[in-house]
Every structure is written in C-alpha cells, then in structure tokens.
Amino acid sequence: MGFIDKVKASVKAGAEQAATKAQSEYERMQRRRELDEAYEALGVKAFELADKGDLAHRDLAPLVEAVRTVKAKLDAAGSEDPGEESEPPVQEPQAAAETGKIAEEEPSPSTQNPPNEG
C-alpha cells in the first residue's frame, strides 16, 4: 500500500468514526428531548391534579402557586389593549420550579415615574 492509499484509508476510518459518533450524539439528544417532553407532560398533569385538589404535597404547593400566578398574568396580558405596554417578563418556569417561587423583578427605569423637576 502506498502513502496515498494509507492517507485515504486513515481519512476514511476517521470519517466513519466521526459519523458513528455524530449518530450516537444525535440519538442521545433525541432521548433527552423525549425525557424533557415526558417531564413536561408529568408537570402539566401534576398541576391539573393539584389544582383540582386530587394531589397534595407541601413541596408542590409553591410550584402550583407559581403556575397559577403566571397563568393569571398571562390571562391579564391577553385582555389588555394591544397598544398598551405589558409587564416585564417573569422568571422562566424552569427557574421557578427550581426555587419554588417566582422572583419579583425590579421595575425597569423606563417604567418608573420620572422625578419632579421644579
């Protein structure tokens, strides 16, 4: 086997190895996506049950209240006039789930009242 043949064989082997690794990574990402979807479905069902009173646990109470709060804000934002400014975004649901509560945000400088000059 000549030098060029050895290089071609080496490149081919490297490409096959890279393709195998890429396929493996793709499959791992697919499983992770499936797991995320399963967790989301579980969370939705747990909220529905807890909201109806069929599921109760002290660790769930702050999370259920966080969902209720965000849903109420979302409903209120949907009923506002389209031209009206909405409230600043709330903490992401994942972060709320980890902390068990929604973080209260400081109003942005654009929404604060300007000082009276006089």
Query: 25-37 pLDDT, tens per residue?
Result: 999 999 999 999 9
* Number of residues written out for the chain: 118
What helix, strand, coil percent values describe the chain, rounded to 5? 65, 0, 35
The pLDDT of residue 89: 53
Query: 47-96 pLDDT, tens per residue?
Result: 999 999 999 999 999 999 999 999 999 999 887 655 555 555 555 555 45
The pLDDT of residue 111: 47
Average pLDDT in the 9-27 region? 93
Tell me the two tokens of residue 35.
Answer: 């797991």
Average pLDDT in the 89-117 region? 49
| DSSP string over 21-46 | HHHHHHHHHHHHHHHHHHHHHHHHHH
